[in-house]
Amino acid sequence: MITLALSKGRIFEDTLPLLRAAGIEVLEDPEKSRKLIIGTSRPDVRVVLVRASDVPTYVQHGGADLGVAGLDVLLEAAADHGGGLYRLLDLGIARCRLSVAVREGYDYAATVKQGSRLKVATKYTHLARQFFASKGVHVDLVKLYGSMELAPLTGLADAIVDLVSTGSTLKANHLVEVEKIMDISARLVVNPAALKLKREPLRALVEAFEAALGAQA
């Protein structure tokens, strides 16, 4: 049995066409069913539904053989508890960017230039710390788990580090993107022990994913 960890929402939605192209139909819609383990048209392949940020943990500890997770989640998790999983493929899905944003009218460039401390709210404390350290900017980091956009509006922070795709969330909250940290897309990751134990079936599945990507390009 091969177990693939996915998160509900955009990762699941964007992985479906790739699975389909690899000849695998998922048998249930996670938005309609409450099941956390979903079968597929392949009796030896199943999908487990976990929180986006739990995908690396499942794969690292062997709760799943493979998983799909955003590079944001993977890098932040790696800084937290080491590598422990192989990043096999850039699936090119769930694309966005990790960026710094501030309130409209806030002079970010001046703060950085003057060497003043910047108070930054984010879910991505490791990635934010690395980024600002590489620029030589002194920061005080505030860890949040959601609604980052609120932080600069309430005076909790000067800036946020968050994912941006269309930019409409920032706009709706009178925030502006001032710097891109990195481009993000979802990656296929695999448990190294599983790759040894289930070498052939996993390799066949990864190759099917690769072929699906090639066909899309």
Instruction: Name the minimum Å distance from CB 9 to ligand PRT.
Output: 3
Beta carbon nearer to ligand PRT, 15 or 198: 15
Instruction: Name the minimum Å distance from CB 114 to ligand PRT.
Output: 29
Beta carbon nearer to ligand PRT, 5 or 112: 5
In whole angstroms, give the CA distance from residue 47 to residue 1: 11
Instruction: Name the minimum Å distance from CB 116 to ligand PRT.
Output: 27
* Chain residues that interact with ligand PRT, rule: CB under 6 A: 7, 9-11, 51-53, 70, 72-73, 94, 96, 162-169, 184, 186
Is residue 49 within 8 Å of residue 38, measured between CB atoms?
A: yes
Task: Please identify the residue of the shown chain whose CB is closest to the bound ligand PRT.
Answer: 70
- Backbone angle region of 28, left / alpha / beta, with phi > 0 → left and psi within -120 to 50 → alpha: beta
Length of the chain: 217
Beta carbon nearer to ligand PRT, 12 or 112: 12
CA 16, distance to chain mean position in Å, is 17
Neighbours of 141 (CB within 10 A): 18
**φ, ψ at 202 (rounded to 5°):** -70, -40
Instruction: Name the minimum Å distance from CB 54 to ligand PRT.
Output: 8
